[in-house]
Amino acid sequence: MNVAQRITVEDTRHADALRFLAADAVEQAQSGHPGAPMGMADIAEVLWRRHLSHNPADPTWFNRDRFVLSNGHGSMLLYALLHLTGYDLPLDEIRQFRQLHSRTPGHPEVGLTPGVETTTGPLGQGLTNAVGMALAEKLLARRYNHPGHMIVDHYTYVFLGDGCLMEGISHEACSLAGTLGLGKLICFYDDNGISIDGDVEGWFGDDTAARFAAYNWNVIADVDGHNPAAIDAAIFQAKSQPAAQARPTLICCRTHIGHGAPTKAGSHEVHGAPLGTDEIAAMRAARNWPHAEFELPADVVDDWNAVEQGAARQMLWQQQYDRWEARFPEDAKELTQRLAGDIPDGMLQALEELLDNSTALHGNIATRKASQIVLEAITPELPGLFGGSADLSGSNLTNVKSSVWVNHHGQGNYLSYGVREFGMAGIMNGLALHGGFIPYGGTFLTFSDYSRNAIRMAALMKQRVIHVFTHDSIGLGEDGPTHQPVEHLSALRVIPNNRVWRPCDGEETAIAWQQALQRREGPSCLVLSRQGLMPFTREKAQREQIARGGYILQDDAQAQVVLIATGSEVGIAVSAAASLREDGIAVRVVSMPCVEEFFAQPQSWRDQVLPPALPRVSIEAGSTWFWRGLVNNGTAIGLDSFGESAPAAQLYDYFGINPQAACNAVHALLEQAS
């Protein structure tokens, strides 16, 4: 046996370890996707054993290479890799694949399983997160590396399939990655020609290599995905690009789905169903694999183990880091704070200062403008804050004087994402997952529809990502019903672990920003007006209550009714209250900028703000369904139909969202009660 033969045989055994773990686990669960793990096993073997820089004993090591399985249904491939290389994922967890409370759920979940970098399953989004991670690396490297001191220097690797490439978000993310020249992003396309409906020829005729070349990617076409030497050479080519002109790399790997399954390989049957005991037995025979299920040969297990290598790699980096820290202590302090995700005291002070002293913030301004005033004050104090907009910077007012546009400088703290709402949201998730960034990005509220599943993913992954949604209602006026959100507030509020803030003036906007920045455990949506809004004066205690999501803004002794409103409709509630007082009715006005936060408060607070006995009228220029659960037998004033194109003030009257309607509702309720 010559050396080349020996290597081939050995490589097959290492890759086969992945194949059999995947096949056995799916068989045991009687549920799952063996096809992708078996098809990509050879690629995974080469990448993970020869290239990936990681430390299984410390999955949080900052400079590790990131690995993203964008085709997340192939989760068993990732679990097998993590298990074999020595992460805290014992064989018992593999046997518990897809069972309750295991660390091996159906799709990979970040935070649950050590070594999983992002939660994947909804196709195209893992790839997009990876673009965010590669961007994060590039930005941090530009900011913190110095000649001879390369402390940020890692790759981001992605596995992806036909599904990811068909999804629109792949276009958004990859087009932007090419424009930004993210040279350390290396993607492996599992080109197996099969998707769930069968041979992709009928619905996916793209010349993917040409498509990515059009995005300014480094495309390595026609690689045999079962030939380790070819895969290895492609990775070296990707890594050997001159840094200054480096482009993201797509390695197009021709593979067989379910490679190794004697009769089912190459067919869509192997995509998402167990192989069956007969097929697995036949595969054991065909691949010369005389081991029982879940059993692996000791030498293969030894070869896979990356714990020692990983520790050595991290130690070498740590030495570099220590030298860098000694030489650049200010940088080190800042980076440490960024990676910890802490909010500097200076930023909170800047915010307090603004609340106490800014006349601009307390003027009759749109809350989108108030948001910009806040950003002006805090951006210099928060180096990890990373802004942007989906081509609406001047409308969202997300751009401030201290914003440096990455697009034009190659480094900075602001990105014009282009007209790519979903891509922006997915890239922001990647920035947050990477660490070192608190991303925020703007678009119109109505286009939260486009980015919605990425907001959901941020909530599921418990990532601090801030969405700035302006033009938040019919109050945007003439752009008409395509641009006027109606149901969007409700639809965002029902996403678990999401927070929706709809402030009514500058003070509430500042507090909303503060809360969003301090909320580490999930995303926040700041929903802001296009039009100017009347500011309110608050006692110091009241200002502090804003953070509770709902509080008493105005109160009469022995109030007979509570008006509850959010955002631009708080002004309507206050006007209505004034009229009602003239009619001798005592009124409480509750501002509720964040319903979810209010409902997370103790019952005592909720009852204090909304006494159970008092009738309630809610006012919000959007779906009333959501509010019906809160007003009980009271009245929810809102809009359950589409808007119209006209100046805003006319629309409010036309749709009956005005002080008069609120007064009428109160009179009707009080008469009913008497």
- Hey, which residues between 233 and 262 contact its own copies (CB under 8 A)? none
Instruction: Pick between residue 48 and residue 212 the one whose CB is nearest to its own copies.
Output: 212
Interface residue with its own copies among 203, 281, 346, 600 (CB under 8 A) is 203
37 binds its own copies (CB under 8 A): no
State yes or no: 33 annotated in a binding site: yes
Q: Which of 40, 39, 112, 36 is nearest to 73 (CA)?
A: 36
- Compose the 55-84 pattern: x for residues touching its own copies by CB under 8 A, - for all others: -----------------x------------
Q: Alpha helix locations (H) across 519-553?
A: 540-545
Residue 609 near residue 595 (C-beta atoms within 8 A):
no
Tell me if residue 415 falls in helix, strand or coil: strand
The answer to the question of residue 430 lying near its own copies (CB under 8 A) is: no
Size of the site for its own copies (CB under 8 A): 114
Contacts (CB under 8 A) with its own copies, residues 331-350: none
N-to-C CA span, the chain: 98
C-alpha torsion angle, residues 125, 173, 169, 502 (rounded to 10): 80
Residues between 295 and 314 that touch its own copies (CB under 8 A): none
509 is an interface residue for its own copies by CB under 8 A: no
265/224 Cα distance (integer angstroms): 16
Stretch that binds its own copies, among 50-58, 301-309, 336-344, 626-634 (CB under 8 A): 626-634
Read off the tokens for 567: 């955002």
Let me know if 421 is a catalytic residue: yes
Find the catalytic residue in 421, 569, 596, 620: 421
**Contact status, residue 489 vs residue 620, Cβ threshold 8 Å:** yes
Decide if residue 620 touches its own copies (CB under 8 A): no
Residue closer to its own copies (CB basis): 418 or 435: 418
Say whether residue 286 binds its own copies (CB under 8 A): no
Q: How far apart are CA 546 and CA 570, in angstroms?
A: 13
Please, which of residues 577-616 interact with its own copies by CB under 8 A? none
Q: Supply 432's token pair.
A: 């947050």
623 binds its own copies (CB under 8 A): yes
DSSP 495: S
Instruction: Please identify, among the stretches 11-19, 164-172, 302-310, 338-346, the one whose residues bind its own copies according to the rule CB under 8 A.
Output: 164-172
Residue with token string 């990936």: 52
> Residue 655 interacts with its own copies (CB under 8 A)?
no
Applying CB under 8 A, does 163 fall inside the site for its own copies? Answer: yes
- Binding residue (CB under 8 A) for its own copies from 452, 543, 606, 667: 452
Report the alpha-carbon distance of residue 177 to residue 171 in Å, rounded: 10
| SS3 of residue 556 by DSSP | coil
Structure tokens at 376: 């002006």
**Token pair of 670 as six digits:** 């009080």
Q: State the nearest-atom distance from the C-beta of 478 to its own copies, in Å.
A: 4
Is position 497 an interface residue for its own copies (rule: CB under 8 A)? yes
Q: Which of residues 214-233 bind its own copies (CB under 8 A)?
A: 214-216
Interaction of residue 652 with its own copies, rule CB under 8 A: no
| Residues 397, 375: Cα–Cα separation, whole Å | 9
**Does the annotation place 73 within a ligand binding site?**
yes
Q: Is 460 in the site for its own copies (CB under 8 A)?
A: yes
| Contacting range for its own copies; rule: CB under 8 A; set: 59-67, 185-193, 254-262, 486-494 | 486-494
Query: Does the annotation list 483 as a binding residue?
Result: yes
Burial classification of residue 552, based on how many CB atoms lie within 10 Å of its CB (0-12 exposed, 13-18 middle, 19 or more buried): middle
Residues contacting residue 352 through CB under 8 Å, at least 6 positions apart:
none
Question: For residues 380 and 418, which CB has a smaller minimum distance to its own copies in the complex?
Answer: 418
Q: Are strands 365-366 and 532-533 parallel, antiparallel or unpaired?
A: antiparallel
Q: What 3-state class would DSSP assign to 620?
A: coil
Question: Coil, helix or strand for 481?
Answer: coil
291 is in an annotated binding site: no
**Residue of 148, 496, 584, 602 that binds its own copies (CB under 8 A):** 496
Q: Is 345 annotated as a binding residue?
A: no
| Residue 630 binds to its own copies (criterion: CB under 8 A) | yes
Q: What is the DSSP letter of 64?
A: P
Is 425 within 8 Å of 454 (Cβ atoms)? Answer: yes
The runs of H, that is alpha helices, within 86-155 are 91-95, 125-144
Cβ proximity of 230 and 247 under 8 Å: no
Q: Which of 447, 469, 598, 652 binds its own copies (CB under 8 A)?
A: 447
Give the x-and-dash track for 168-187 against its own copies (CB under 8 A).
Answer: xxxxx--xx-xx--------
477 binds its own copies (CB under 8 A): yes
Residues within window 534-563 making contact with its own copies, judged by CB under 8 A: none
Member of 644, 664, 667, 670 binding its own copies (CB under 8 A): 644
Question: Catalytic site residues?
Answer: 421
Residue ranges for the known binding site for Mg(2+) are 162, 192, 194
